[in-house]
Amino acid sequence: MEKPYSAACERNREPILEIMKDVITRDEKRLLEIGSGTGQHAVYFAPQFPWLEWYPTDVAENLKGMKLWFDEFKIPNIKAPVRLDVSKDDFPKLKFDVVFTANTFHIMHWKECKSLMKLLGHRLRENSKVMIYGPFKYGGAFTSPSNEEFDQQLKTRDPSSGIRSFEDVNNGMIKNGFELVFDYDMPANNRLLVYKRLKFSK
Ligand SMILES: C[S@@+](CC[C@H](N)C(=O)[O-])C[C@H]1O[C@@H](n2cnc3c(N)ncnc32)[C@H](O)[C@@H]1O
């Protein structure tokens, strides 16, 4: 099996890293990545935060491929990847300070997005952060013609996928105990949403 490769990861990693450097502090010790895909993001980001334990996860069929990257690069703070299908599984039983997920909301069905937000609200403690990267619609409108085209392509492949409304995601996060801290404008009509868990109330 050849290492899986994502060209998009190579393009977006630098601007994401710039934001991560502002968001992730030295007090934060564990990061959970959801939908790690090829594993390229973990390989690029984890060495920049050597004090942070990076926990990559994804659905079962992607673990073998990302492991090829991890075996080659041997980055000490990347943990062994584990299965996490947000509609079926719980997080590893650890306290996570940061959750990062890139380009997953438009792939997951809306039901899965809601499961993910519920899981985040259930498992993260006060002041934990969530970083969600990807394209979103605002006020019901696409932010560019290319995003509209992308949405059509996604729906042709899988009618239940598609670019989500920022408002739906934001309401879902608020409902599960988070507040929006930043909404960064990113290259190629993407956004990076940063949330903070409010006082744990359940
Ligand atoms: C477009 S890829 C993004 C991968 C990587 N984060 C990136 O930015 O290149 C979407 C990812 O979401 C994952 N995914 C889809 N449904 C999921 C689910 N129910 N639970 C967890 N991950 C899921 C896919 O397996 C895939 O790795």
125 pLDDT more than 70? yes
CA of 36 to the centre of ligand 1 (A): 6
Task: Name which of 106, 124, 102, 104 is nearest 198 in CA terms.
Answer: 124
> What are the structure tokens assigned to 41, written together?
């993001």
Residue 147 Cβ inside 6 Å of ligand 1? The answer reads no
pLDDT of amino acid 202: 52
pLDDT in tens, 10-27: 999 999 999 999 999 999
Q: Residue 159 is which amino acid? A: P
Q: Which one of 107, 113, 151, 161 would you pick to mutate in the ligand 1 pocket, going by the greatest count of ligand atoms within 8 A of its CB? A: 107
Pocket test for ligand 1, best of 5, 32, 59 (most atoms within 8 A of CB): 59
pLDDT range class, residue 144, cuts 50, 70, 90? very high
> 């899981």: which residue's tokens?
119
Domains of the chain: 30-140+151-197 (3.40.50.150)
62 confidence band (pLDDT: 50, 70, 90): very high
Task: Summarize the confidence of residues 63-70 as an average pLDDT.
Answer: 98
Any atom of ligand 1 within 6 Å of the Cβ of 104: yes
109-112 LR contacts (CB < 8 Å, sep 24+):
109/160, 109/161, 110/160, 110/164, 110/168, 111/87, 112/86, 112/87
* H or E segment to which residue 196 belongs: strand 190-197
Taking the C-alpha atoms of residue 44 and residue 9, their distance in angstroms, rounded to an integer, is 9
The pair of three-digit structure tokens given for residue 76, joined into one six-digit string: 């000490």
User: What spacing in Å lies between the alpha carbon of 34 and ligand 1's midpoint?
Assistant: 7
Atom of ligand 1 nearest to the CA of 116: 20
Whether the per-residue pLDDT at 162 is higher than 70: the answer is yes
Question: What distance in angstroms lies between residue 71's CA and the mean position of ligand 1's atoms?
Answer: 20
According to the model, what pLDDT value does residue 201 have? 58
Look up the pTM and report it.
0.97
User: If pLDDT is split at 50, 70 and 90, which confidence band does 121 have?
Assistant: very high
